[in-house]
């Protein structure tokens, strides 16, 4: 299995704290500064409290696979074809109600991905960024 290597958009200030945290080996997600509702994916307007700002919070590095699939065909330019196939998943982070993180599953060995599988953060260095991937937590 490959591992995606598509650089994130660092020129977007609103999501940069997520990628900066990944570089430090942790997960940070934004929440409404007034009521604490998670705001993933972050954007400029906070629906619950428009006067609020995004409060970036460090969250658990463990979670549960909500769903998964194997990506076998890249939709990106030919230079990125070497990344496929790879395992991608939606992970529910422990203690974070609502948002699910799109991520890659790595270090699977002989294990097959499964809905409900417990996973932990396994950051992977890629071309100029760290991908916050997950691996089995057993």
Helices (H), the chain: 16-23
22: nearest Cα among 76, 58, 46, 47: 58
**What is the dihedral sign for C-alpha 63, 64, 69, 75?**
negative
Choose one: 4-12, 34-42, 79-87, 126-134; the region binding Zn ion (CB under 5 A).
Answer: 34-42
Is residue 71 involved in binding Zn ion (CB under 5 A)?
A: no
Is residue 47 involved in binding Zn ion (CB under 5 A)?
A: no
Choose one: 12-20, 46-54, 80-88, 116-124; the region binding Zn ion (CB under 5 A).
Answer: 46-54
66: nearest Cα among 98, 39, 43, 89: 89
To Zn ion, the closest distance from the beta carbon of 64 in angstroms equals 25
Binding to Zn ion (CB under 5 A) within 90-119 occurs at none
Helix (H) or strand (E) holding 81: none
Which position among 34, 84, 90, 130 is part of the footprint of Zn ion (CB under 5 A)? 34
Which is closer to Zn ion, CB of 3 or CB of 34? 34
Q: For binding to Zn ion (CB under 5 A), which residues are involved?
A: 32, 34-35, 37, 48-49
């Amino acid at each position: 299995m490959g591992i995606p290597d598509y650089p994130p958009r660092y020129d977007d200030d609103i999501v940069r704290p997520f990628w900066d945290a990944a570089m430090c080996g942790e997960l940070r997600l934004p929440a409404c500064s007034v009521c604490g509702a998670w705001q993933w994916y972050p954007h400029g307007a906070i629906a619950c409290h428009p006067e609020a700002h995004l409060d970036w919070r460090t969250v658990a590095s463990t979670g549960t696979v909500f769903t998964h699939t194997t990506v076998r065909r890249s939709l990106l330019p030919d230079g990125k074809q070497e990344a496929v196939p790879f395992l991608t998943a939606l992970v529910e982070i422990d203690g974070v109600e609502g948002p699910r993180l799109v991520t890659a599953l790595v270090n699977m060995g002989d294990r097959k991905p499964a809905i409900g599988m417990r996973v932990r953060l396994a950051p992977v260095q890629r071309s100029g960024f760290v991908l916050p991937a997950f691996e089995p937590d057993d």
